[in-house]
């Protein structure tokens, strides 16, 4: 799961909106 997060972060780096979407997705997984 962490590896997937790092890949997503690389794709969306620099965009706070997308970063927030990633955090929401991680919370949904947990």
Tell me what percent of the residues of the chain surpass a pLDDT of 90.
Answer: 0
Evaluate whether 14 touches 22 at the Cβ level (below 8 Å). no
**Percent residues over pLDDT 70 in the chain:** 70
Q: Are 12 and 19 in contact (CB under 8 A)?
A: yes
Cα torsion angle, 18, 23, 26, 28, sign: negative
Query: What are the pLDDT digits (tens) for 6-19?
Result: 887 776 665 666 67
Q: For residue 2, is pLDDT > 70?
A: yes
Q: What is the pTM of this model?
A: 0.38
Maximum Cα interatomic distance, the chain, rounded to a whole number of Å: 24
Kindly report the average pLDDT of the chain as a whole number: 76
């Amino acid at each position: 799961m962490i590896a997937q997060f790092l890949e997503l972060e690389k794709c969306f780096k620099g965009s706070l909106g997308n970063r927030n979407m990633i955090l929401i997705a991680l919370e949904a997984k947990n």
